[in-house]
Structure 1
Amino acid sequence: MLSEPRSGRLAAWGNALLAGLVSPDEAVLAIVGDDAVHRVEGMPGEEGPVGLTLALGRLRGLGVTGWRVALPAPGHPLGLSGPPAFNARALEAEEAVVGYGAPFGLVPELYEAGPGGAEHPEDVHVEVVWHCLPVREAPPADVPSLGEAERELAEALREATLVLTRLDVAASGPVAEAALDAYRARAEAGREVLAPGYPPRAVRVLELAQRVGLLVSLAHAPRYGTGGAHGGAVSASEMAARREALRPVERVARRAQVAAFNAWVEERERERG
């Protein structure tokens, strides 16, 4: 959860595009990021995949006035509203984007291209196909308000610290050090974690959610504990104990991440109401 999900980038920059705060080229560049290319398949009136710029413009013409994010997990349809076919595909991908104003959703499917391999991982390029599918126009499942998410995260951060201390997990080892260094570098670079038009509170909530998510992901690393400079080996039973203890914390972090990405649409709803 340290990095934004692709659905989060698409929703955030897609919303900025709908608000007229960025150009189509700027939005697509931010959405694609380090990937090779993004295409959209299943667009109404199109027989094959189309480019992301065309798809976003076409969906706007079909009535989409905002984008929400879904980050579902088994037993937790976070951000989804149906129908079952869309929910199943989103659950398989562990993410999706749900249109607001028109019944369309997008689910990403990733393909790796290039020679790559273990010796040259930098040569592997990711191509993304977004599948455009019908969605049910209904409130998304289990998404808190920004205020609720912020309060839950503060408690989750304390809980994560207590759990990791109780499980004797220390911030040691190359995996932990590399992840923490990457987080600090991104923060120092002043990266834009959302997109123009989002309220400062949403940015704050997303950053805190990513910090909590980082703690959880590090605790799940196979060699992460008190075994000295290289981290301790962790048994299968210890890993299972960590997963069980941190599951509620991870759930709160995912809920908060969705709340942050969805804040743009929620603000528009309040303004209209």
Structure 2
Amino acid sequence: MLTEPRSGRLAAWGNALLAGLVSPDDAVAAIVGDDAVHRVEGLPGESGPVGLTLALGRLRALGVTGLRVALPAPGHPLGLSGPPEFNVRALEAGEAVICYGAAFGLVPEVYEAGPDGDLHVEVVWRCLPVREAPPADVPSLGEAERELAEALREATEVLSRLDVAGAGPVAEAAIDAYRARAESGREVLAPGYPPRAVRVLELARRVGLLVSLACERGHGGAVSAGEMAARSQALRPVERTARRAQVAAYNAVVEERERR
């Protein structure tokens, strides 16, 4: 969770484009980011892969008015609504974009090309039919914010008690450094998102970073099987909470439109 999911960039900037808040060139540049190129394959009416600009225009013509994010994990189909074939692909990728207004979904397939030391990333989004149903386990922004605050407090307490690297001053310094890099780079969310969504996404990334630091830095003082199990038990729901909050933030524009 240290990196922004590609589905998040596609949904956020795609929503801004569909709302007329950014130009197609700006939206595509933000979605592609550091990748070499993104294409979309399987769009109705197209015989092969097309560029993002054409793809987003075609989706609009097909009735798409918004884009949602799904960030599923094994045993947790977060943001998905089916059918099973789409869910399996999304679970393999760990992410997907669900269209609002037309029953399509997009799953990224990531390819690396080029010689060692000069690799570039190409992404193909597979357009597939989805079921028009409420997405699984997505909280409201308010629920996500409350859950994140509680998860961050509980996880820090548990990890500190177990003497796990990733809690305490070292983790705080790493989080602050990560936040500084993020603030100097691309926007947290695209134009059109409410401030609360930005706040929830930033907190979700902070919680996700804490989990990643705890995992990357080894077991610390938690050397017994019982302590290791306790750490795993503490981190699992925290990671799930952070993913749920990410989805809530990215989907905020569509959810607000639905309420209206």
Output the TM-score relative to the length of structure 2: 0.92
Matched with 2:28 is 28
Equivalences for residues 141-220 of structure 1 within 5 A: 141-171=136-166, 180=175, 182-189=177-184, 191-220=186-215
Matched with 1:248 is 237
Equivalences for residues 60-99 of structure 1 within 5 A: 60-99=60-99
Task: Give the residue type in structure 2 aligned to 1:245.
Answer: A
How far apart, in 2, do the equivalents of 1:244 and 1:150 lie?
21
Task: Give the residue type in structure 2 aligned to 1:159.
Answer: E
Cα contact 2:86–2:128 (8 A) shared by 1: yes
For residues 181 and 236 of structure 1, do their structure 2 counterparts lie closer, same or farther at Cα, with a shift above 3 Å needed? farther
Equivalences for residues 30-45 of structure 1 within 5 A: 30-45=30-45
For residues 18 and 76 of structure 1, do their structure 2 counterparts lie closer, same or farther at Cα, with a shift above 3 Å needed? same
How far apart, in 2, do the equivalents of 1:125 and 1:178 lie?
31
Structure 1 residues 164-222: Cα deviation after superposition (integer angstroms, max 9, x where no partner) = 112212349xx969954651332442741110000000000000000000000111115
1:140 equivalent in alignment to 2:129: no
Matched with 1:129 is 124
RMSD over aligned CA atoms reads 2.2
For residues 182 and 47 of structure 1, do their structure 2 counterparts lie closer, same or farther at Cα, with a shift above 3 Å needed? farther
Structure 2 counterpart SS, 1:208: helix
Task: Give the residue type in structure 1 aligned to 2:236.
Answer: R
Cα contact 1:38–1:128 (8 A) shared by 2: yes
Structure 1 residues 28-66: Cα deviation after superposition (integer angstroms, max 9, x where no partner) = 000000000001111112121111111110011000000
For residues 51 and 240 of structure 1, do their structure 2 counterparts lie closer, same or farther at Cα, with a shift above 3 Å needed? farther
How far apart, in 2, do the equivalents of 1:96 and 1:62 lie?
19
Following TM superposition, the consecutive aligned residue runs of length 4 or more in structure 1 with deviations greater than 4 angstroms are: 175-179, 234-241
How far apart, in 1, do the equivalents of 2:50 and 2:224 lie?
47
User: Which piece of structure 1 moves more, 184-193 or 138-147?
Assistant: 184-193
Structure 2 counterpart SS, 1:220: helix
Offset at 1:243?
A: 2.7
Unaligned runs of 5+ in 2: none
How far apart, in 2, do the equivalents of 1:203 and 1:13 lie?
14
Task: Give the residue type in structure 2 aligned to 1:138.
Answer: A
Offset at 1:14?
A: 0.2
1:12 equivalent in alignment to 2:12: yes
Unaligned runs of 5+ in 1: 227-231
Cα contact 2:166–2:211 (8 A) shared by 1: no
Cα contact 2:175–2:206 (8 A) shared by 1: no
| Identity within the alignment, % | 85
Cα contact 1:219–1:242 (8 A) shared by 2: no
Structure 1 residues 8-39: Cα deviation after superposition (integer angstroms, max 9, x where no partner) = 00000000000000011100000000000001
